[in-house]
Structure 1
């Protein structure tokens, strides 16, 4: 990530000619295609799809299969509505499309999908969590305890070792990190569930910028992690 807040080639859906190597599971793509994921998880998957032609093709196949299955279902009788009924429903539900948000010049370099949440990466109000770790909230915590936020992790900095109370998706926007499962660079997505325990560490000379979306609070395993959890917000 540059000093201007831009994240380089990933913002155009490419990473120096490299396609992502870590992808969502088939089950996750099915859930995304069916609209069954929460907003934070969906945002992480959508950002990966923007960088990954392989997963875009896989999602198209999933949606084609789903469409074929729907075609095989017997048709349902259409509801009989008069013109007056239709106009009344439009008045109740509203039919005006929401205004499209124009991109300001200072938002250049920020992925399109993030602009509605943060505007520009260069203007994000980062909060210091610990030495070498800063965060910015994207979505408030849900009733179940899930959330979505951006993290900036300085080179060589490790997050506390932890498990998961539900699904956790980590989408790398810039830099890289490693954990017990592999190494992840820009465009890669890490998928961890309740069976996974790991300790991500920023492993390159540049800071790691990532989006983390969770279904439920993390389960920190060490004393320091448990003490920090109320402040980390994960």
Structure 2
């Protein structure tokens, strides 16, 4: 049975995505999440419709749009490319299509780099205002206790993780800010693979995590 998504993106993030004001890494997170989440996809489409109506009203008063320009504009607002120029990859059981476009293929094509305690990561190419990475966390392993200088969004692609009283499975997104200090732990039943995006370095307390942070660029 398909896992029900219970942890969604906020309206603020979804509206920023529709308006084209988010960093590239955050756009990647939203596109990946809404490819699996009917609820958030419907909310994005509603914000797109509002933006489209505003563009149409403005064009009637200011100037006529060139043929096809409205569709192209809305595609840019949604963070995507016109259908005919998107790269299509074979369906992958772990990575949704938007994420495959950035990773260059499915999960088997990922070039992981060890960061300690069996945890591996693969940094994805995005603009410098925020970072995106895939994380591989062995079953039962806890991530180092940490806080945040900015926003961190973590979406589960495989397996699950526990964070205090919350449980995050495939498609779920944890949105953490400077108020949250936590120690996520991968579920013991399966290795956990996540997409994580941040707009500022994490805040670690221990000496070893601080040293590893310099090399892992987190």
Taking structure 1 as the reference length, the TM-score comes to 0.76
Alpha-carbon distance between aligned partners in 2 of 1:33 and 1:132, rounded to the nearest angstrom: 37
Q: How does 1:203-214 map to 2 (within 5 A)?
A: 203-214=187-198
- Unaligned runs of 5+ residues in structure 1 are 1-15, 82-96
Which residue of 2 is the match for residue 22 of structure 1? Answer: 7
Secondary structure at 2:178's aligned position in 1?
A: coil
- The alpha-carbon deviation at position 56 of structure 1 amounts to 1.4
Indicate if the aligned counterparts of 2:3 and 2:169 stay in contact, CA closer than 8 A. no
Unaligned 5+ runs, structure 2: 67-82
Deviation by residue 1:171-190 (Cα, 9 ceiling, x = unmatched): 11000111136110000011
- Which of 105, 117, 122 pairs up with 2:108? 122
Alignment of 1:36-115 (within 5 A): 36-70=21-55, 75-78=60-63, 99-103=85-89, 108-109=92-93, 110-115=95-100
Residues 19, 51 of structure 1: 8 Å contact kept = no
Structure 1 CA distance for aligned equivalents of residues 165 and 34 of structure 2: 21
Match of 1:233 in 2: 217
Q: Show structure 1 runs of 4+ deviating over 6 A.
A: none
- Deviation, 1:224, is 2.5
Cα displacement string for residues 145-193 of structure 1 (whole angstroms, at most 9, x for unaligned residues): x311100000111111111121111111000111136110000011111
Higher relative contact order (CA 8 A, sep 6+): 1
Superposed displacement of residue 115, structure 1: 2.1
Task: Choose from 5, 13, 35 the match for 2:20.
Answer: 35
Tell me, yes or no, if structure 1 residue 190 matches structure 2 residue 152.
no
Partner residue in 1 for 2:137: 153
Alpha-carbon spacing, 1:18–1:33, altered in 2? closer, same or farther (3 Å): same
The structure-2 alpha-carbon separation of the partners of 1:176 and 1:231, relative to structure 1 and needing over 3 Å to count, comes to same
Q: 1:138 aligns with which of 124, 128, 135?
A: 124
Larger Rg: 1
Aligned length, in residue pairs: 201
- In 2, Cα distance between equivalents of 1:68 and 1:231: 47
The residue aligned with 1:219 is: 203
Asked whether the equivalents of residues 152 and 199 of structure 2 are also in contact (C-alpha less than 8 Å), the reply is yes
Whether the 8 Å contact between 2:25 and 2:126 is mirrored in structure 1 is no
What's the Cα RMSD here?
Answer: 2.7
Would the aligned equivalents of 2:161 and 2:192 in 1 still touch at CA under 8 Å?
A: yes
Alpha-carbon distance in 1 for matches of 2:161, 2:183 = 10
TM-score between both structures, scaled by the size of structure 2 = 0.81
